[in-house]
Structure formats: structure tokens, C-alpha cells
Amino acid sequence: MPFYEHTFIARQDLTPNKVSELADKYAAVIAENGGKVTKREDWGLRNLAYKIQKNRKGYYMMFNVDAPAKAIIELERLERIDENLLRFLTVKVDELEENPSVMLEPKYRKSKSDDKFDVEITQGDM
């Protein structure tokens, strides 16, 4: 089966429990259509680059999915209808990443060689 990375953004006024329920609902849709969610990451409440439907923030959730195309089509169809979601994106990948994504890495990582901190400058810090 093909591999996908699927990310959705939920409205900022939802509770974290409600976002988790949405993620469970969509994971069940994938399972019902013959696929499986191999990894699920909650990226939390983050700022949006621009306003979407009067929202400045959104809850991000990412799935690694091993599923047939029909499961992704059904998932996206249901997400288009859901008023609690602002955006979603599905990308087909060659292989699924087992490690935590870059979004979950801390901004300042402690160096293994000594007790100093490595500072990574990202475009958002400038």
C-alpha cells in the first residue's frame, strides 16, 4: 500500500480533548477503509502564517498513514465537510519516518559533546 503524511489544522476555539476526538474519528475512517495510522503527532496550538476564517491560531495534528488511495479520498471528503477544520494536506511519500518529526524537536538542543547549548536560527527568529 502507498504511504502518506496527512496533516490537518483544527480551529483554535476547540479544546485539546475535542481535537483528540477528531483525530480518533479520522483514524477510524482510515481503518474502516483498509488502512492504518502508523504514527500520530499532536503539534499543539500554533500561530498561523495568515488569518484563516478569522482564526490566527490552529491545532495541528499529523498522521503517518499506510492506506489505499480510496481511504485517503474518503478521509479528505469527510474533512471538507467538517466545520471544525481549517485546512488539511495529504502528501504521498516513499517511506514513512519512524522518528519524531522536526516540528517536535526543541528549538534549542543540548549538545552531546559538552554542556553548551546549540542555537539554531530559523527564519521565524530573524
CATH (one of 3.30.70.260, 3.30.70.60, 2.60.120.460, 3.40.980.10) for 3-101: 3.30.70.60
Prediction pTM value: 0.78
Judged by DSSP in three states, 1 sits in coil
Out of 67-71, 73-77, 78-82, 106-110, least confident range? 106-110
Question: Among 65, 78, 81, 6, which Cα is nearest to 31's?
Answer: 65
**Residue 119, pLDDT score:** 56
**Residue 87, pLDDT score:** 95
Are 4 and 65 a contacting pair, CB within 8 Å?
yes
For 88-108, write each residue's pLDDT tens digit.
999 999 888 887 777 777 765
Question: Among 14, 21, 19, which Cα is nearest to 43's?
Answer: 19
As given in the structure block, the three cell numbers for residue 69 are: 488511495
Average pLDDT, the chain: 86
For 32-70, write each residue's pLDDT tens digit.
999 999 999 999 899 999 999 999 999 999 999 999 999
Taking the CB of residue 32, how many other CB atoms lie within 10 A of it?
10
Distance separating alpha carbons of residues 110 and 106, to the nearest angstrom: 9
Distance separating alpha carbons of residues 11 and 111, to the nearest angstrom: 36
